[in-house]
Structure 1
């Protein structure tokens, strides 16, 4: 490939947001700092477009985030200015504390802090001189759409309001020990829990494992602002999900057990129970039994997860009795979540399957899909379940159809061949998705000649429990 030809193709790939093509062209020798029509390196175009994937590929491929531009800024400065934590972290590069001079670090911190303290809308008005409110739209800030952010437009400029998260990430990278109280406040002032500032604060605190950090965090349990208490519960949930080998998990479990016993605010109790379920703790079952008849369905929805027994253990008779009652709850979500636990228990398998069969016939596509996934993988091999799975091949949700075909293959049902034909054109899931793998395995074992279309990458996500983030 000629240098000029490869660079032109790189420009086109960056404009198209094609990360795979950008990576291939860089591997073939294209210049990662190729200038665009405006004379700026292509990394600036990816930053302006909030293209996290392309920005990440360019930096990994050698693009210089610290290159001084004609206006005196750098691509990294522009990423901080743009307000997207995801883009900023993609552009930040390796070892920024060692790579950047003290003046450069202080300039970036000052920029992020100014946006954060002034407020994105107000700073936009200050910069542009435009009057009136900024136009705001909620958009995903990362390729997986786990975090959402406000994107503001005013006076011809566009910015995202993630500077609190950027400031937090920069401080951590630059070895600045920001106080726990200040970090928690940054998250708590943002009402949207899916905003990336929540995750940036949580991820930093997860790295700070000292007793001093824990003591400062635990004090927010009694903070007068419920947002601080909500943040603490979410932090503890994330700690339980992401850090099963954390040595002091028993301490957090004890803390949540005591909190659940006295919490009177229903919304907060839901958050506490959700976090508590992520810990292996001896008080889980007692807490579940205490709240299994709570008048609010949101609380009852959190109860089944408290009964999940440790590996190689069985449900106790009181837990079975409570789950049996929850399988008949008036709330469909309670029944679904009770079924998720009960379907793994030999004693409760039959009533759990009955409840899930009803839910699989729901008009609610999400509910139907979750029930189908549970039925597909459960140990019930009766004709009633197989017939229900075959009927669900007509569902209008591709993932539900795939789950149904998967369930038939697991059962070596003679209708699996027909299920092949019904789902082989579905472009959902991962190329190595366990459901596709099982169908291919069934095809091989049965000498079938039908060829499934392999998904060309991620076209959908694995179903997750409604409580999961």
Structure 2
């Protein structure tokens, strides 16, 4: 049928939402700017259908997002109008700040700002003149973000214009005030809203002291959502790395998080603070762990073990040792389970330091957890032991005993630990695990099943002493 036939099939594939066929046809020579029966390029069909996947394939195939259409719009301006951040991101293409002339940048910014400030429903009423009720549903615009979809007077838009505006501002070098971005992110209470996720990038890259003061002042207001969002920005920015290599030193947000733990009364927010803070190596980490070891909320207590001297090079003081062993006897099973990793860490540290008596104390505490009445605690301890440093017969026998567990995944962890130790009972251990419901699908990927194949390979080839 030739080129014309490929173009016709391309229109049909775009209408059908068949991204694979669109990609194949473009590879075969179909024109990415093929015009459909309505006189519009196929990219506009994808935009109107909110088909981000097809739009992305077309743009990657050299469809022109800036092509001026008879009504003066472009595929990109139509994506702004449509309000779907996912579709807009697919159509935006690379380097819009250098690709588009200043006048066109201003028009796109004005369009997105007008939609955002007016509101999707109000703008639809203005455009349609319809005074009836609008239909509004919250939908998932892509795998991670949500937006409202608003229908009125025969028109439908997605209300993700805040995310689109934020992205255009960043793309065109517009420095939006930090306070404005914060308010934009928090306008909708949904933590997965597209407007919120779009703000993380520009805020996260602001490394000047003034911007961070505005973000971190969110710790003071009473609204939980604002404090949680400030923590989200901290994570995105790189309290875990990026900030440590800039003029805004890593120690400053770590110190703020440390002081924040003393001020925060909401357990959910406090847990998020600890999750971001523990492991940064801040000198107050152990003291904070000790202070929170008796917290009323079990999730907070479960965060404590890794704060108790767990950083590389740190030592375990007498108070921290007592607190850690006390947590192994905590009434809540999640807290007891959380101690196994820290116990294993210190067992290894004392073993490497040539202090067998100290190491034995931590090994005994781990063995006690492996006999815990709660199956979740026993399972977590089995996973810790499986890859842990203790290769003693006592641990191997404990792993063997865990093969009597009712929970299949606990038995799998125990068998895995025996395989790593080249234990002669490994084959029998995996037999006792039983057939896993997902074994056929995951056989090539799950490390615990691969360990059995590695064990067999070593013994078949006479390499029983080889490292796994």
TM class, shorter-length: 0.7 to 0.9
Distance 1:435 1:190 in 2: 43
CA distance 1:446–1:210, shift in 2 (3 Å): same
Higher mean C-alpha deviation, range 265-274 or range 373-382: 373-382
1:291 aligns with 2:292: yes
CA distance 1:154–1:432, shift in 2 (3 Å): farther
Who is 2:159 aligned against? 161
User: 1:80 Cα shift?
Assistant: 1.9
User: 1:236 Cα shift?
Assistant: 1.7
Say whether the 8 Å CA contact 1:401–1:423 is kept in structure 2: no
CA distance 1:264–1:394, shift in 2 (3 Å): closer
CA distance 1:240–1:308, shift in 2 (3 Å): farther
User: 1:249 Cα shift?
Assistant: 0.6
Distance 1:12 1:439 in 2: 50
CA distance 1:286–1:56, shift in 2 (3 Å): farther
1:108 aligns with 2:122: no
User: 1:306 Cα shift?
Assistant: 3.2
Task: Please give the residue correspondences for 1:359-378 in structure 2 after superposition, counting only pairs within 5 Å.
Answer: 361=375, 377-378=387-388
Give the one of 138, 145, 148 matched to 2:146.
148
1:229 aligns with 2:227: yes
Higher mean C-alpha deviation, range 221-230 or range 234-243: 221-230
Who is 1:215 aligned against? 213
Distance 1:276 1:408 in 2: 35
Higher mean C-alpha deviation, range 41-50 or range 165-174: 41-50
CA distance 1:187–1:27, shift in 2 (3 Å): same
Say whether the 8 Å CA contact 1:336–1:359 is kept in structure 2: no
User: 1:231 Cα shift?
Assistant: 2.2
1:66 is paired with a residue whose SS is: coil
Distance 1:213 1:174 in 2: 19
User: 1:124 Cα shift?
Assistant: 3.9
User: 1:182 Cα shift?
Assistant: 0.7
1:189 aligns with 2:187: yes
Higher mean C-alpha deviation, range 149-158 or range 278-287: 149-158
Q: Which runs of 5+ in 2 are unaligned?
A: 348-358, 462-468
CA distance 1:224–1:305, shift in 2 (3 Å): same
User: 1:99 Cα shift?
Assistant: 1.1
Task: Please give the residue correspondences for 1:395-410 in structure 2 after superposition, counting only pairs within 5 Å.
Answer: 409-410=419-420
User: 1:305 Cα shift?
Assistant: 4.5
1:29 is paired with a residue whose SS is: coil
Who is 2:354 aligned against? none
Give the one of 424, 427, 432 matched to 1:414.
427
**C-alpha offsets along residues 383-412 of structure 1, whole Å, 9 cap, x if unaligned?**
4435646967857xxxx9987876665455
User: 1:73 Cα shift?
Assistant: 2.3
User: 1:164 Cα shift?
Assistant: 1.5
Say whether the 8 Å CA contact 1:165–1:198 is kept in structure 2: yes
Task: Please give the residue correspondences for 1:212-361 in structure 2 after superposition, counting only pairs within 5 Å.
Answer: 212-223=210-221, 225-238=223-236, 239-241=238-240, 243=242, 245-247=244-246, 248-277=249-278, 279-307=280-308, 309-311=310-312, 315-346=316-347, 347=359, 348=362, 351-352=365-366, 355=369, 361=375
**C-alpha offsets along residues 412-467 of structure 1, whole Å, 9 cap, x if unaligned?**
521477579646754359x767567656645654569xxxxxxxxxxxxxxxxxxx
CA distance 1:308–1:10, shift in 2 (3 Å): farther
| TM superposition score normalised by structure 1 | 0.76
1:427 is paired with a residue whose SS is: helix
Distance 2:226 2:321 in 1: 36
**C-alpha offsets along residues 164-187 of structure 1, whole Å, 9 cap, x if unaligned?**
122111101100011111111111
Say whether the 8 Å CA contact 1:403–1:435 is kept in structure 2: yes
Distance 2:28 2:367 in 1: 55
Distance 1:35 1:415 in 2: 65
User: 1:351 Cα shift?
Assistant: 4.0
Who is 1:83 aligned against? 83
CA distance 1:387–1:240, shift in 2 (3 Å): farther
2:441 is paired with a residue whose SS is: coil
| TM superposition score normalised by structure 2 | 0.77
**C-alpha offsets along residues 269-323 of structure 1, whole Å, 9 cap, x if unaligned?**
3333233236331111111111111112343343345347234656555444333
Say whether the 8 Å CA contact 2:231–2:273 is kept in structure 1: yes
Say whether the 8 Å CA contact 2:134–2:150 is kept in structure 1: no
Distance 1:282 1:225 in 2: 29
CA RMSD of aligned residues (A): 3.9
Give the one of 410, 427, 432 matched to 2:441.
427
2:148 is paired with a residue whose SS is: strand
Distance 1:191 1:24 in 2: 42
Say whether the 8 Å CA contact 1:79–1:87 is kept in structure 2: yes
In terms of Rg, which structure is larger?
2
Q: Which runs of 5+ in 1 are unaligned?
A: 449-469
**C-alpha offsets along residues 76-104 of structure 1, whole Å, 9 cap, x if unaligned?**
22222232323322221111011112222
